[in-house]
Amino acid sequence: MVADLTGRRVACFGEGMLELRTRPDGLLSRAFGGDTLNTAIYLARLGARVDYVTALGDDDVSGEMLRAWEAEGVGTGEVRRLPGCLPGLYIIETDAAGERRFLYWRDAAPVRRLFDADHAEGTAAALAGAGLVYLSGISLSLFAGPARDRLFAALEQAHAGGARIAFDTNFRARGWPDLTAARAAYDRMIGLSDVVLAGCEDLAAMTGRGAPEDVLAWLDGAGVGEAVVKLARPGCLVRAAGAPVEVPVPRRVTPVDTTAAGDSFAAGYLAARLAGRDPVCAAGEGHRLAGVVIAHPGAIIPREAMPV
């Protein structure tokens, strides 16, 4: 069944980090990013009502990040400021074809404490207050053991209260102790999700089976009503009612930097669905935004470069 997303307020959940990008002259430029944060910012630019649910430190840089998100129209009322903590950081390096590589410093990031026993109730309330909760495989990987169980309990509570849940698989092996733990968490997450944005290449790395028909069979078996499967070739399959429909990219773009390609696709797709567009049209909007984003360096493109 196609999810009813029209007009819902979104809570994007995950980690916002400092972004350092290596410039052609060897110097570093500073910005901010993170997969679900990128999606939140692009959603806000596209007119969606969105809050970001995360944690930062009480330092000046964390304050600067908050002000920048607010200037983008992202709600920050659910961002916790934890004393003595510092935000995570990553460096982007890109090759001649625009493909990116990330180097991370984030093991002690404050977001990892959001489902500790003393913070879990407040975080759960933040998610339960949304009409749509959006998170990713990277969001899942931030927590382990009892903290991850509390995250799932919070998602179950939100879902029982009427929230819809959208999940982007966005698998990164380095965030998991082993593939068995990752598969167990993904199975549980997909079983809770109303909308899944799945990447064939990501899931092939986790399951060894990344053919589109395998991914669709997995999602169908879990009862996912609305699925978007991003293909290894440019384009995606949308399955929301009946047989899957292939939605190609409208035009090929030579990438400058593929950072946030999937994040911006998710924003374009969800913004269109929130506006009442059907899933196939929404996938086209996702492709359109992602095609602009990868033609610019960094995760967040200049506002004036946004497609109209």
Centre a 10 Å sphere on the Cβ of residue 56 and count the other Cβ atoms it contains: 26
Structure tokens at 116: 């500790």
Q: Got the DSSP string for 170-238?
A: ---GGGSS-HHHHHHHHHHHHHH-SEEEEEHHHHHHHHS---HHHHHHHHHHTT-SEEEEE-SSS-EEE
Of 51, 194, 202, 263, the active-site residue reads 263
Is residue 25 annotated as a catalytic residue, yes or no?
A: no
CA count, 13 A, side-chain hemisphere, 194:
22
For 40, the 3-state DSSP assignment is helix
The answer to whether the beta carbons of residues 167 and 193 sit under 8 Å apart is yes
- Running DSSP on this structure, what letter comes out for residue 299? S
Q: What is the 3-state secondary structure (H, E, C) of 79-123?
A: EEEECCCCCCEEEEEECCCCCEEEEEECCCCHHHHCCCCCCHHHH
The answer to whether the beta carbons of residues 246 and 22 sit under 8 Å apart is no
Spatial distance between the Cα atoms of 184 and 189, rounded to a whole number of angstroms: 9
Catalytic residues: 263
